[in-house]
Structure 1
């Protein structure tokens, strides 16, 4: 079931005082009208990216949960009818009225893009790119912000986290506008579940994806910049000798099938198990689960890894290959 973040209505807020005028030199400033964007409250049940169970039991008519419970950063970008950026707002969770942005705009039709996600979610305008346009604008997770080492052949692009997005047209016509925004999750989650006992000498598992996307383009509202990626998962001591080990990764590639290679190592960096799973597909707002044995030994009629889909991120439908 497709999950959306349905956001509650609010009355128009009249803005006193002026923002910087972006009209060209020598032109007469146009009259501007207050515009309020409301991304603050969720009024529909949303599921956690960290497990199978929903993290709350909100209903459409119940009390709302604040957007800060699910995101830590929010951008609102406004483009004029020619596709040039005229405004870019960035909010961090913790500020007053996180999820509500008030601006003033002249009469006209605009394209508005709102995105919300986790720390280090960026777009080029964050770095002062004055030439940003609807054509080249994009979202990405930037490793420069946290000092992290790139996890792929991409120079600055890092792993994706739970992220939401909306793009819409807004018309200002001689009056104030109050716009409620519905954000949609744009990522899927890839989960690996091991069924057998994890060896006590196991140290880590490397997961290689031959095709992951590293950017989300505003023009097409879709993933872009495909490349390979390898992620290292350290095996906790608490799961060694048990059959309770699983790990997961947020994936932006929700459009193209890809292959997954799993390679397990011991403390001496020796390979102790390998697996290859082909034709894996992740879907927006859903969990794709790869389930199989950690060991390469085939036991109990296990024919390898199975692929299943959990539409709540409830029951999986399993496809064997």
Structure 2
């Protein structure tokens, strides 16, 4: 009988090789980072009190960190700790090295953040939301964030954020959306609207007016039936694209169901009016970002859009 042997394989670990020269060192040889931060700040600013204000901690906390650093190194770093610190020769050498290293890190991080902001945002959203909400509002966003470029990709198809390279999606409904993390932007009513010229027709009730409908939307049919309106007996214009539907409503081609958030500017200008007496449900708009921490420009955009909505 042949011997049963479990097969095994050797996994080769690939060594990361950056495209630049890196100096090797052992993190285990370094003191705790908080103690280095405390000493650098105290040495640069000249006192424990000034360092405490910058680091948002107490004076004793800074002093304790510095004393702990001296114990860790077995060296005296502070010669005098009165109103103004005086460093030993070893303390001066360490302070200079830390200041150069931390300053270089701060400068590099600042450049990285600035470059990221100039990379811009790639946003996927529906054509209706793009035309009626986003495009009219973008000048307001750029007034406060002129350095952030925005690319809008309007589509009725649900994009995959990771696969398609989007920073943000604006979506409505309930989710869930497995390709990202959703954050509520706003809740908004669904309303029935019409152009003033259409609504002001004398002696005409709703059954006698034309309607702009989406025949694939059974919710609309149910809302109309609750008011005694048979959609099959009405004069209707079937438009599935919300952007085109709003454009048709603005021209007086029919009554339209839409979200109040999408029609806010048209309602405020008087181009469209609410039809009273319709108690319709709410819906929600969400900001969906790829899994992981969002980029700083994305956070700025979401904060602005939530306030705008």
Tell me the TM-score normalised to structure 1 length: 0.22
The structure with the larger Rg is 2
Q: Which structure shows the higher helix fraction?
A: 2
Q: Which structure shows the higher strand fraction?
A: 1
